[in-house]
Amino acid sequence: MLAFRNFAVSRSLLAVAQQQGRTSLGGGARGFSALTFQKIVGTGQAPDFQADAVYGDNSIKPLRLSDYFGKKYVCLFFYPADWTFVCPSEIIAFGEAYSEFQKRGAEVIGCSTDTAPSHFCWKATEPSKGGIGQVPFPIVADVSKKISSDYGVLHESHLALRGLFLIDKAGVVRHSVVNDFPVGRDVHEALRALDAIQFHESHGDVCPANWKAGEKGMKASFEGVKEYLSEK
């Protein structure tokens, strides 16, 4: 019953947003109408937060972002709502790639404006029945919507856009991307970007277009770009 109620609430929020023309879950670009992405772009200090989260072991307890600083990289991704459509496909995909993030010393953290009980029930529901199953990473309950607002992804429909932020061990955002409601993200691109960040930290070279782990980087100089492009 609780799972059904949470599903109904999420569907109601989305329906209201669509009626008001504030979201484009079915297509189009109007979902960005209230985006305040200027708040945090690329290399800013990641806003710290503490909020309840449902962890991989299904415990519900506070999560503080800064507890990871100095220890792990963080892939923080926002999604609009539990019990919806594109969202479970993304969360399950991040769960399937979780071991790859762990190999790179990174933690994955999901976040939406739903409650922790909603996250819990969604996890307890099998994917074949509309749930996400036992994904291994924590999912934060941004009930106050402050986290989504601080990261510049809170839409005026009170749902978070599909923002993704890669945060280094110093707590600095090194990569950020925001998708509209109907556009799911590529988990492999998040891993590629994380590889590029770590490659630059280790080697000093920069990573050109379409760079992948195992490939040569580019010296950050005029001579370096000439050398790189001459070899293509």
Residue 168 sits in the same domain as residue 75: yes
Residue 45 sits in the same domain as residue 138: yes
Structural domain boundaries enclosing 166: 32-184
Which residue stretches of the chain have pLDDT < 50?
Answer: 1-38
CA distances from 54 to 14, 18, 127 (A): 23, 29, 17
- Beta strand segments in 99-206, E: 106-112, 139-141, 162-167, 173-179
Q: What is the pLDDT of residues 23-38, one digit of tens each?
A: 444 333 444 444 444 4
pLDDT, position 90: 98
Does residue 195 belong to any structural domain of this protein?
Answer: yes
Can you give the CATH number for the domain in which 180 is found?
3.40.30.10
Residue 43 sits in the same domain as residue 68: yes
pTM, rounded to two decimals = 0.85
Pairing between strand 50-54 and 60-64?
antiparallel
pLDDT, position 40: 54
| Cβ-Cβ contacts under 8 Å for 84 (sequence gap 6 or more) | 10, 11, 14
Into how many domains does the chain fold? 2
Does residue 17 belong to any structural domain of this protein?
Answer: no
Residue 127 sits in the same domain as residue 206: no
75 is catalytic: no
d(CA 217, CA 103): 21
CB 177 within 8 A of CB 171: no
Residue 69 sits in the same domain as residue 176: yes
Residue 158 sits in the same domain as residue 215: no
pLDDT, position 5: 41
pLDDT, position 18: 42
Q: What is the pLDDT of residues 137-163, one digit of tens each?
A: 999 999 999 999 999 999 988 999 999
Does residue 20 belong to any structural domain of this protein?
Answer: no
Residue 220 sits in the same domain as residue 109: no
Which of these is catalytic: 75, 87, 111, 207? 87
Nearest Cα to 217, choosing from 230, 200, 232?
200
Does residue 150 belong to any structural domain of this protein?
Answer: yes
